[in-house]
Amino acid sequence: MLRIVYKQVGGLDVHKKTVVATRMRVTAEERVEWETETFGTTTPDLFQLHDWLYAWELSHVAMESTGDYWKPVYNILQDSFAVWLVNAQHVKHVSGRKTDVKDSEWLAELMLHGLLKASFIPPKLQRALREMTRYRTTLVQERARVVNRVQKLLEGANIKLSSIATDIMGISARAMLAEIAAGQTDAAWLADLARGRMRNKIPELEKALTGLVQPHHRFLLAKQLGHIDFLEEQIEEISVEIGQHLERMSWPGERSQPGTDAEAEEGAQVADESELPLTWDAAVALLDTIPGVDRRVAEVMLAEMGLDMSRFATADHLASWTGLAPGNHQSGARRYSGRTTKGNRSLSSVMVQAAWAAVRTKDTFVKARYHRLAARRGKKRAIVAVAHSLLVSSWHMLTYQQPYHELGADYFDERKKESKVNYLVRRLEKLTGGSVSIELQPAAA
């Protein structure tokens, strides 16, 4: 007999147009009774669902949903119940008779016995921040696609500007493209628009800008440049709004608390009572100290994982939730594929993006770690490992409110310096067939 943990619970199976709801409670005679109803998903229908659940004074409501259909339901119920959004895969793995009952009844029964685990749902202000950062990411990706279309169009017109200019949307290249779209065909005149170091490439630019531009090329190029201008304007406006939203979230009266809205204060831990709590703006500045992380990346990181790290027991829990932790597929003594687990795709992708930028920095620990791993495991595995390291560092930085501490490019050599020297000596002896001794001399002044 399974122990009853919650005596008044509900289960919701959420679809696009309907919500199948089951309310379940334990009576004074220790009997379990339940009722099942189907509701629509419009706001008036969801208020009817709220009243129907509230009539039995339920404490917890579990719901399973596909896509974002859970959001309207959560918006209505979050202030009156402890709403748990459960992972469908987790429910599937719980043994029982799910095929014999409705999904909502099975969810309610599992909740009754405390066999469900709630997914992390951010507070309202963080959800708003998350929606804005995700939309900005979509616009940035769309801009990259349009830039690729411009490059494809130029190739079709025999314009080889991308072979000379690293960025065809740079100041010099953009001015040239605008003149081409306006009808200019003189390659020497176009090349003279180069600025800065690009002026050293004027002879090459004249050759690259000599093409066979047709009227339809100019028409499409003008439209594509206009589309890029529009996207850049939208990205900038959203970035300004995100910055203002972070400022509002940093105000004492508006600062989001740990956990979900229904459990605001639960799990809060402050190491030093005299220490001021970390604000969202301060957290962005803190994460900005990580190699490869700029303000935009820091905003995305905070929007996805939040400010309070107490919801993740350890840094490894955060890495697993993100999907940057190795899989643990083992049976008996045999270990199978260790590919990374599924997780928060928005956060994992931005961490990989930050990792690629970090490994291009000079004299840093992450660059040394990347090259150390890439030689043995390949570039892709190495970059995921670097992304994992950056994420682990961010957990410690936000937990202890400390800036990034650079270990240095020689960290791995200094960590086991003596064994490294002995290894190299043995290698020399093996290659030369003789005895090798090292005599240390003071460095020249």
pLDDT digits (tens, 9 = 90+) for 53-76: 999 999 999 998 888 899 999 999
Using CB atoms within 10 A of its CB, is residue 28 exposed (0-12), middle (13-18) or buried (19+)?
Answer: exposed
Domain chopping of the chain, boundaries: 8-119, 125-250
More confident site: 144 or 331: 144
Is-contact 46 78, C-beta < 8 A?
no
- Stated pTM of the model: 0.84
Is-contact 217 157, C-beta < 8 A?
yes
Residues with Cβ within 8 Å of residue 347, at least 6 apart in sequence: 300, 301, 304, 305, 322, 323, 391
pLDDT of amino acid 350: 96
pLDDT digits (tens, 9 = 90+) for 365-375: 999 999 999 99
Percent with pLDDT over 90 in the chain = 68
pLDDT digits (tens, 9 = 90+) for 289-308: 999 999 999 999 999 999 99
pLDDT digits (tens, 9 = 90+) for 232-253: 999 999 999 999 999 999 887 6
Q: Which of 81, 99, 101, 91 is nearest to 9 (CA)?
A: 81
Is-contact 39 50, C-beta < 8 A?
no
Is-contact 255 279, C-beta < 8 A?
yes
Confidence band of 325 (pLDDT split at 50, 70, 90): confident
CATH of 8-119, one of 3.40.50.2000, 3.40.50.2020, 3.40.109.10, 3.30.420.10: 3.30.420.10
